[in-house]
Amino acid sequence: MSREFEGKTIFITGAAKGQGRAVALAFAQEGANIIAFDLGARIEYPAYNRSSNEDLEKLKSEVEDAGGKILIYAGDVRKASDVKEAVERGVNEFGGIDILFSNAGIAAYGYSWELTEEQWDALIEVNLKGGFLVSKYVIPHLIEKKSGVIIYNSSVAGLRGFNRMSHYSASKHGLVGLAKSQAIELAPYGIRVVTLHPTGVNTPMNDGLAELEGTTPTEIAERSAGNLLKTPWIETEDIVEAVKYIASDKARYMTGNQFVLDAGLLTR
C-alpha cells in the first residue's frame, strides 16, 4: 500500500465531520500525522446541528486504532488565540507542519437584502476570517521549512453567484483572493497555495440545510448545484483524492490555481 505522505503533518480545520474527517482518515492511512481542529459545538447561526467533541474523539480513536498519530483540538477558527495554540501544540507534538487543509465552513440561505448584519458576519468570519487566521499561524512554520502546501476548501460558489447565498458566495470568493495573493507572497519560499472548488458534496451539511429549508438533502443538492453530470453531489472520497493530488509532488508546479471539481456545473 502506498504511503505517500509518510512522516508529513497535515493541519485540518473542520476535521470532525464530512470532508475534513474523510481527509484526516485518508492522510492517516498514508502515514501522515494529523492535527484535527474543530469547534466541536453548535453555533447560533446557521441553526443546524454541527459537530461535537464526541465526533473529534471518535476521529482520534479511529486514527489511532489504525496505527496513525493525531492531535485533536476543540477550538474556534474565528479566535486567534485558539488557532495559535492549536498550531503551537501541533508543532510541538510533530515537529512542524507540511500541509494545511483549511476546510472549516458554514452555509445558509437568505436574500442579500434580508440578511441581518450578524448573519453576514457569521459566514464571513467562519469561512474567510477563519481561513486567514489559520494560515497566519501556519505560514511561519512553512517558511521555516521553505516548503509546504496550503489548500483552501472554497466552492463552486467561489467562482460564480448563487441565489439566496450572497454571504456564502462572498466568503468563498474571498478565499480565492486570499490564496492568489499568498501564492505570490509565498512562492519565494517554495510554498504552494491552491483553492479547491467542489460542487455540492454528500456531507452532513446537506442534512442541516435541508432541516432549515424543510426539504430533503437531495433536493438541496439538486437546487444548489444543477450539475451537468447525472449526480446530485459528489462524495467525500472525491475531495480526498483532490486534496491528495494537490498536496503531492504530482502538483509541484500548481500554485495560485483554482482546482475545480464541479461535475460540469460551471459549464452550464
Q: Which residues are catalytically annotated?
A: 168
Beta-carbon count within 10 A of 65 CB: 8
**194, β-bridge pairs:** 151
Give the pairing of strands 99-102 and 69-74. Answer: unpaired
Say if residue 46 is preceded by a cis peptide, omega within 30 of 0. Answer: yes
**Cα gap 94→91, rounded to integer Å:** 5
What are the cell numbers at 222? Answer: 439538486
Beta-carbon count within 10 A of 124 CB: 17
**Cα gap 37→34, rounded to integer Å:** 9
Total residue length of the chain: 268
